[in-house]
Structure 1
């Protein structure tokens, strides 16, 4: 950034002025963002035909009036001076780092609050100009609507055309300079046709075009692909049988806003509203307040968002807690609660040895015949009904459902939380109830429950990471499975170890089965557990101790 003091002669005696740089190309290199006396300015060169001032009084009067104008929505005028060799005049404008409204359509798409802020700033600036000694802007475009660093819209190029005209020895300015044909998009038809000087009604036409730009967030006529020359020919050379205006869409603005914009660019100047009427009408539609600012509106919106977010967070938190409970319930169906807590804490679950456990194995005799004749859907429905029935019943016992394998249902007691010597009575009571009630259900077809029970030591561990499973290992599991597979339909087959643990409990009646050859185990003296309802030890039942002594296996247990 060049320091202006290095290239300028001392300022003339003219009052200070503010105008914004155009997009046209100039061969004078004093052009753009510079520093002058510690202030950021924008410099715009203006060529003079003979490098001398004419119309001194008019220029002095114009610059004096501009220097007295002060509004937060009109750019402040800094000054005008010669360059070092007096080949051109330089206009010094207040620097707006965010450039023009025309350069910020993307911001209008992404930040809705900017639309209200820009509309309010634009109306306040034009109201100030129309009520000032200047009376009108004359050449208002979205290029002359500049944005400060805090996104305040400021109207620039005020009286720019008059200054340029006087420097070129012209006392009056009519319509526009065709050399800068971009302005045609915002120029009123009567000015294009040479029927009127720029005035307040022309400003209202330009204002309607800019308001439409703000709400549509796109350049004027972009949907029609019209060039400035096309617009000039259609507006200036037509016989007024057709008017050409930018598009308006109801999805981008409400119906009242659309009507106001169309009134602003009405073909007949007298039917366009004045700035005061437009200010009041838009203030009611958009709820604009005199004291509002972009920062204030954003803070109010943030407060609304914060309140809304707090409510949403509370609702989402409640949903999260509910989902977490559901997730915990599902996990605890797969894994013990203590294991779930360790895994959630990212702790490694070590294999655990449980010395006092009883294992239940139960399968459905006749299921293979049923499955071979039924559809897969019927098989799944049957198993789901049976297992759901079992799940409901075992929930009242101190047991843990280990797994289901086909038609085999595996339950353990004494783990994952040890329960002392209760493990055998919990499994025995549960087994009696399952067998009794399954005999009476209506959905069992020709299947019957066959149960095997064995007590001993097992090792429990979590296997797998993607779908972890709580698995039991040890000979106790194998023996319990053999008790089931060598049992009979509707009966509970138990090992001598389990029978020995039940010897002191009068609630259960054991009947010796005798020595039975168990695959992989040899001959074992086993028992039937009477599952009849409210079974009590009958007088003809021999005591377990007596039976075990007779079988020479009293050392078991």
Structure 2
């Protein structure tokens, strides 16, 4: 008859307009499961009839199609494949291994699947695998939650689990009890003793299981069919586990089988075993799905039983229907409600995905009462706790587990009867322990052992405390935080420096007072001094003290600051206590102060970034409040920094006795004095001597003011309330002192009216600046609130967020690039000028253009060599620094003189000085005259030169010069040098080495050229033996004749030999020339020469007579 009805219904037209097609796929054989076609179909039919009679789907008829799944993972999915083009929703399947593939396919077909089965945990992953699955009887997880609450209610923590499972080689897979107790095992912390048995288990197997579990648990949870549970309890009674009253058994029976009758009674068993079973069941508590006891539910149960008997020849027992059966009635009703809402909103009947989502996260009234479906499409299930009444020997409900509340509610006047005649509940652990070890009497040696062990432990603990104390003292004494002045090096000059650097050539200070501003915009921005410490750029906070007294509290605080590390706290590198360079070194954050960012209108801050700043600030303060520092005391937007990764970091905490030295000297009438108090809590303002370190509740108040700044971006207290307390004649705008007084007197706060932010954020600000400190939340609470407000952005791609922020700063970076380009061009010009001093200008220009410099031959040049007579002995008698100062002073003087002549200084090596004229730019025969005049000028200058460390000694300069051809070119790629080659160079060197002190030795070739000018006075020296040259006739250059112009305009030469007498000039002293901080004999600009020293020029008439 059933198969005939199925065939007739399947033959009906499936595509009629206004037709809703439901396909029921469940097993037909009641022996497989209680949720079979003869049981389910009456519930579905009654549900369809209710929908039709209530007009829930006007204009639509519902057609029901049935298929037998046989609980087979093959037959069930094939039935779904056959019907999926002819159905709008699947009712069922009920077996897990059928639900899994059918639900996966339905997700692709977008067909809703509504079932009272599928309670395994894996079916909770809706979005990934089962997007259209709705479970109207919830999940096994709810059973785990219910058992946890029930056991906690009795204060039972140690539990054993015994359950039925199919064999390892069974094609059925794991049983429902396996999946069910797996959730209980997980909910109990995966610490319970658990054992399973298969279909072939015997009473002897049950005995072994109980003996094994009894060694570690008194509370035993059992999951099996009713007859198996009865056999297990009979074995427990045989083991005296019932009469002792020390054991409690829980049975999880979801289908209410024989619960309202006498499950212990089996008519085919003996009377004796039935009596034993009756006694055993006194130790059993049963957990079952909650079944309504209303009259309407009883009527519905009777009607289902009647239809099942009449149409499908199936007979129910006397107990009410399980909610696992009647849930299919609720499934039809739930689908009809969701379909109706979808159609009313303009949706399509075939859009199963939309219909499924309308079934989720809702509450409706079904035959079982109020049905709650959570946001994951699973019913929030209630359960009942039943106990056997010893008088009637029937199970009665004593308590209900309310799933939506997660609590256990007892039935009025109901109580639990404990086995073995106990009046109180048993303990989950025996008084002496499971192995009786807790009650053993201790022998004397054991007591002695314990006493000695205790003494050892006490000594060890005491030693640990002593060691810890001395270790702490050693760490304090080691002063790992200390930074020495020589470890802090100067950082290069930054644009936006608040202090000019020391003049070039003077000695540098220990740390740079250069300051960096945010985003290159200097107007209205704050600055931070920076320096380099161990290769890292650090921020420098100067301590305005001439001396710091290191007492233990300060040393301890410095150590704690050094040990404090957090992502949102500025790292403390150390402190320098070397006067006058006392300072604190902290982490440098290149983006600058939060106050700068907020007040810079060019920087766009979206709400995600603002919440991120607030969250960073909260995390930093929460960590600070739980550290040894305890509180900040000076929290404001100007003590919050932003690093290169846009992470907010808090600074200016701790070491308040050092930091407040400068601030304590501020005038009470100054602008800065009142402005810094805008973030201070009212209770601190009222104190005459508030604590320097502040309070934690005061920090929360300061945080609220900063949040207001972040929201308004107009500075602190930008949005003031209406000045109802404004004094007469005053401006409606408060000044800083009035604001502080208003806060101090109570009541004045920034206005949150009209600001653009969420109401929750406004409420948070108002809570944080409550007048009573105890009413303000702590930072852990604030962290949860901000995370909730920013929940939509927490899962966003952080890379996209960072890229968005980088785009916001693009405009500022363009301006910065322009400024840096101008700086680069200026530095390039300076480098070129320096290169022109190192190399001839024509040669340097070729190198700058990347051209190669080809060596060039010059037919006639004059080369000058000089050295200092007795320099070796002078160096031996002087300190190295004195020798350096001597050469630096001498060559600074020489360099200032040779600038007045057409010559090029080739190099200096020790006391040797080499100059050439006639190259790289040829000057005819004038090179000899230029060198001669320069030599006379240098000789005159040397005679008035004073040696700084030996002022009474005369510096004896020896000069030689020679004229001839040479080759010149650039040698080397790194540090290229312009070098001269040829015999002329050697001859000039021989002229110098064979000369005499304070005389100018001239070769005959140079004399020949000088004679062409007719102005130079030379004296024959005679023949001199030259190394490698033989004998050579040489001359002394004495001076140059003075040229006198007549009235007729004709130039006549009047020769008059003058005695050696340099022109009047102040004596040359090294102190009158600035120290030259460079490599020795490096050319310098004329501005660096002694301004008081009169340079000897080519027009200065000099004769060298007396020296001959």
TM-score between the two structures when normalised by the length of structure 2: 0.29
- For residues 352-391 of structure 1, what are the structure 2 equivalents within 5 Å? 352-391=856-895
Equivalent position to 1:492, from 964, 976, 1000 = 1000
For residues 956 and 105 of structure 2, what CA distance do their matches in structure 1 show?
99
Contact kept? 1:366, 1:446, Cα under 8 Å: no
* Alpha-carbon offset, residue 333 of structure 1: 3.1
Question: What's the counterpart of residue 410 of structure 1?
Answer: 914
Question: What's the counterpart of residue 703 of structure 2?
Answer: 255
SS at 1:44's partner residue? Answer: coil
Provide Cα deviations, 1:165-198, integer angstroms capped at 9, x if missing partner.
Answer: 89998854388889999xxxxxxxxx86679xxx
For residues 303 and 379 of structure 1, what CA distance do their matches in structure 2 show?
59
User: Which 5+ residue runs of structure 1 have no aligned equivalent?
Assistant: 1-5, 15-25, 69-76, 82-89, 94-156, 182-190, 196-210, 225-248, 261-272, 289-293, 542-557
Question: What's the counterpart of residue 162 of structure 1?
Answer: 362
For residues 411 and 430 of structure 1, what CA distance do their matches in structure 2 show?
10
Question: What's the counterpart of residue 320 of structure 1?
Answer: 824
SS at 2:1033's partner residue? Answer: strand
Question: What's the counterpart of residue 173 of structure 1?
Answer: 372
Contact kept? 2:942, 2:955, Cα under 8 Å: no
SS at 2:931's partner residue? Answer: helix
Of structures 1 and 2, the larger Rg is shown by: 2
1:46 counterpart = 2:246: no
Q: Do the aligned partners of residues 174 and 303 (structure 1) sit closer, same or farther apart at CA in structure 2, a change above 3 Å counting?
A: closer
1:477 counterpart = 2:477: no
SS at 2:132's partner residue? Answer: strand
Contact kept? 2:371, 2:379, Cα under 8 Å: no
Q: Do the aligned partners of residues 47 and 422 (structure 1) sit closer, same or farther apart at CA in structure 2, a change above 3 Å counting?
A: same
User: Which 5+ residue runs of structure 2 have no aligned equivalent?
Assistant: 1-80, 90-99, 111-126, 137-327, 381-403, 409-609, 624-646, 651-699, 709-751, 766-785, 791-796, 1044-1052, 1059-1108
1:60 counterpart = 2:339: yes
Equivalent position to 2:1036, from 509, 528, 538 = 528
For residues 33 and 378 of structure 1, what CA distance do their matches in structure 2 show?
93
Contact kept? 1:359, 1:476, Cα under 8 Å: yes
1:456 counterpart = 2:656: no
Contact kept? 1:512, 1:526, Cα under 8 Å: yes
SS at 2:333's partner residue? Answer: coil
Contact kept? 1:359, 1:454, Cα under 8 Å: yes
Q: Do the aligned partners of residues 256 and 525 (structure 1) sit closer, same or farther apart at CA in structure 2, a change above 3 Å counting?
A: same
* Alpha-carbon offset, residue 161 of structure 1: 2.1
Equivalent position to 2:1027, from 508, 519, 525 = 519
Equivalent position to 1:423, from 927, 937, 959 = 927
For residues 343 and 831 of structure 2, what CA distance do their matches in structure 1 show?
77
Q: Do the aligned partners of residues 11 and 432 (structure 1) sit closer, same or farther apart at CA in structure 2, a change above 3 Å counting?
A: farther
* Alpha-carbon offset, residue 35 of structure 1: 11
For residues 33 and 483 of structure 1, what CA distance do their matches in structure 2 show?
105
For residues 80 and 9 of structure 1, what CA distance do their matches in structure 2 show?
13
For residues 919 and 349 of structure 2, what CA distance do their matches in structure 1 show?
88
Contact kept? 1:11, 1:80, Cα under 8 Å: no
* Alpha-carbon offset, residue 385 of structure 1: 1.4
* Alpha-carbon offset, residue 423 of structure 1: 1.2
Q: Do the aligned partners of residues 462 and 278 (structure 1) sit closer, same or farther apart at CA in structure 2, a change above 3 Å counting?
A: closer
RMSD value, Cα:
5.3
Contact kept? 1:362, 1:450, Cα under 8 Å: yes
- For residues 25-174 of structure 1, what are the structure 2 equivalents within 5 Å? 30=104, 44-48=131-135, 53-63=332-342, 80-81=351-352, 90=353, 160-162=360-362, 171-173=370-372
For residues 998 and 107 of structure 2, what CA distance do their matches in structure 1 show?
97
Equivalent position to 1:467, from 962, 966, 975 = 975
* Alpha-carbon offset, residue 412 of structure 1: 0.8
* Alpha-carbon offset, residue 499 of structure 1: 0.9
Contact kept? 2:373, 2:379, Cα under 8 Å: no
Contact kept? 1:59, 1:166, Cα under 8 Å: no
For residues 834 and 828 of structure 2, what CA distance do their matches in structure 1 show?
10
Contact kept? 2:990, 2:1026, Cα under 8 Å: yes
SS at 2:332's partner residue? Answer: coil
Q: Do the aligned partners of residues 359 and 485 (structure 1) sit closer, same or farther apart at CA in structure 2, a change above 3 Å counting?
A: same
Matched pairs, number:
369
For residues 538 and 360 of structure 1, what CA distance do their matches in structure 2 show?
26
Question: What's the counterpart of residue 841 of structure 2?
Answer: 337
Contact kept? 1:435, 1:531, Cα under 8 Å: no
* Alpha-carbon offset, residue 30 of structure 1: 3.6
SS at 1:54's partner residue? Answer: helix
Contact kept? 1:513, 1:528, Cα under 8 Å: yes
Provide Cα deviations, 1:313-372, integer angstroms capped at 9, x if missing partner.
Answer: 222122212221232233233322222232233322221111121101011112111101
* Alpha-carbon offset, residue 432 of structure 1: 0.8
Contact kept? 1:361, 1:451, Cα under 8 Å: yes
For residues 972 and 109 of structure 2, what CA distance do their matches in structure 1 show?
70
SS at 1:523's partner residue? Answer: strand
SS at 2:1016's partner residue? Answer: coil
Q: For structure 1, which segment, 522-531 or 336-345, has the greater mean C-alpha deviation from structure 2 after superposition?
A: 336-345
* Alpha-carbon offset, residue 496 of structure 1: 0.9
* Alpha-carbon offset, residue 429 of structure 1: 1.2
Q: Do the aligned partners of residues 169 and 381 (structure 1) sit closer, same or farther apart at CA in structure 2, a change above 3 Å counting?
A: farther
Higher relative contact order (CA 8 A, sep 6+): 1
SS at 1:55's partner residue? Answer: helix
SS at 1:441's partner residue? Answer: coil
Equivalent position to 1:398, from 898, 902, 905 = 902
Question: What's the counterpart of residue 510 of structure 1?
Answer: 1018
For residues 59 and 350 of structure 1, what CA distance do their matches in structure 2 show?
93
Contact kept? 2:861, 2:916, Cα under 8 Å: yes
SS at 1:433's partner residue? Answer: helix
Q: Do the aligned partners of residues 414 and 12 (structure 1) sit closer, same or farther apart at CA in structure 2, a change above 3 Å counting?
A: farther
* Alpha-carbon offset, residue 428 of structure 1: 1.1
Question: What's the counterpart of residue 162 of structure 2?
Answer: none
Q: For structure 1, which segment, 363-372 or 337-346, has the greater mean C-alpha deviation from structure 2 after superposition?
A: 337-346
Q: Do the aligned partners of residues 28 and 521 (structure 1) sit closer, same or farther apart at CA in structure 2, a change above 3 Å counting?
A: farther
For residues 85 and 988 of structure 2, what CA distance do their matches in structure 1 show?
108
Q: Do the aligned partners of residues 431 and 259 (structure 1) sit closer, same or farther apart at CA in structure 2, a change above 3 Å counting?
A: closer
For residues 384 and 158 of structure 1, what CA distance do their matches in structure 2 show?
92
Question: What's the counterpart of residue 436 of structure 1?
Answer: 940
Q: For structure 1, which segment, 437-446 or 421-430, has the greater mean C-alpha deviation from structure 2 after superposition?
A: 437-446
* Alpha-carbon offset, residue 416 of structure 1: 1.6
Q: Do the aligned partners of residues 367 and 29 (structure 1) sit closer, same or farther apart at CA in structure 2, a change above 3 Å counting?
A: farther
For residues 520 and 500 of structure 1, what CA distance do their matches in structure 2 show?
22
Provide Cα deviations, 1:251-270, integer angstroms capped at 9, x if missing partner.
Answer: 5999349989xxxxxxxxxx
Provide Cα deviations, 1:110-133, integer angstroms capped at 9, x if missing partner.
Answer: xxxxxxxxxxxxxxxxxxxxxxxx
For residues 1004 and 916 of structure 2, what CA distance do their matches in structure 1 show?
18
For residues 424 and 516 of structure 1, what CA distance do their matches in structure 2 show?
21
SS at 1:173's partner residue? Answer: strand
TM-score between the two structures when normalised by the length of structure 1: 0.54
